[in-house]
């Protein structure tokens, strides 16, 4: 993969857009999960807080926490890529993420679904501030985080 160049501008775009979304976590976490189910209705079974409900539950603390975690970790990844040129997630965190995703039955294509939902949520939240550069910066950071988690999931199996 060679040396990764994640620019200062990309990092700034990710941080700025996360600040905007953070202003209404309940709204955007709901939007995020609605998008996941719209893209992949079958994904419902992967989330404990969606499994037994016909719709995306409003004000569910677990749902909010999961959505925030995805955005926050992607944002932190962007900062690490900029500063260190690679993803630096604590081993324990990665092991935990790998294990919990594997136990839940998550497979590689699910990461793409979540990425698409993340981008749609950003588009919704940023309105006309959303553009290709923003999309590119978040996509790149997310892809690197997803690779780290998927790699850990494979370690678990072996």
Phi-psi region of 16 (alpha: psi -120 to 50; beta: other; left: phi over 0): alpha
Does 135 reside within a domain?
A: yes
Please indicate, yes or no, if residue 1 is contained in any of the structural domains: no
Higher pLDDT pick, 3 / 71: 71
Domain extent for 133: 8-156
| Alpha helices by DSSP H, 57-131 | 61-84, 91-103, 108-126
Higher-confidence position of 66 and 3: 66
CATH code, domain carrying 84: 1.10.490.10
Q: Mean pLDDT of all residues in the chain?
A: 90
Does residue 115 form part of some domain?
yes
What pLDDT, on the 0 to 100 scale, is given for residue 53?
82
Q: What is the pLDDT of residue 3?
A: 54
**Per the domain annotation, does 3 fall within a domain?**
no
Domain-located, residue 2: no
- When pLDDT is cut at 50, 70 and 90, the band that residue 88 belongs to is confident
Total domains in the chain come to 1
Is 96 a member of any domain?
yes
How far apart are the C-alpha atoms of 33 and 128, rounded to whole Å? 22
Q: Is 40 part of any domain?
A: yes
Is 50 a member of any domain?
yes
pLDDT tens readout for residues 92-123: 888 888 898 988 888 889 999 999 999 999 99
pLDDT at 1 exceeding the cut of 60: no
Lowest mean pLDDT segment, chosen from 2-11, 105-114, 121-130? 2-11
């Amino acid at each position: 993969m060679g040396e990764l160049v994640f620019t200062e501008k990309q990092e700034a775009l990710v941080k700025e857009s996360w600040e905007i979304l953070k202003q209404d976590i309940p709204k955007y976490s709901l939007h995020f999960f609605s998008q996941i189910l719209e893209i992949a209705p079958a994904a419902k079974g992967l989330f404990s807080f969606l499994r037994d409900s016909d719709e995306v539950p409003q004000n569910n603390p677990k749902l909010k926490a999961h959505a925030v975690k995805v955005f926050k970790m992607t944002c932190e990844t962007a900062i690490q890529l900029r500063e260190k040129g690679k993803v630096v997630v604590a081993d324990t965190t990665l092991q935990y993420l790998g294990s919990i995703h594997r136990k839940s039955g998550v497979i590689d294509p699910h990461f793409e679904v979540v990425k698409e939902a993340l981008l749609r949520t950003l588009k919704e939240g940023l309105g006309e501030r959303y553009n290709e550069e923003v999309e590119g910066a978040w996509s790149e950071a997310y892809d690197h985080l997803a690779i780290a988690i998927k790699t850990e999931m494979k370690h678990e199996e072996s």
